[in-house]
């Protein structure tokens, strides 16, 4: 294997890792949004409980 083949393999590896990182960032952004929604629902439920109300959340 010559030097250019090794360099090409290294570049391919870097691109593969970069692609995996992009996918992971996208996944983490989705998780962050879900956490924000759940936090909001929790706050609403706590405020309703403080006001003596009962709320039912149906998560689909």
Structural domain span for residue 42 = 1-60
Instruction: Please say whether the beta carbons of 41 and 58 come within 8 A.
Output: no
pTM: 0.67
- Segment 44-56 shows an average pLDDT of 79
pLDDT of residue 49: 83
Q: What's the sign of the alpha-carbon dihedral 18, 23, 26, 28?
A: negative
For 23-47, write each residue's pLDDT tens digit.
999 999 999 999 999 999 899 888 8
Write down the pLDDT at residue 27: 98
Structural domain count of the chain: 1
């Amino acid at each position: 294997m010559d030097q250019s083949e090794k360099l090409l393999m290294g570049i391919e590896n870097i691109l593969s890792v970069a692609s995996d990182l992009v996918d992971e960032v996208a996944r983490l952004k989705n998780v962050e949004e879900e956490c924000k929604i759940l936090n909001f629902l929790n706050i609403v439920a706590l405020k309703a409980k403080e006001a003596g109300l009962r709320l039912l959340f149906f998560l689909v």
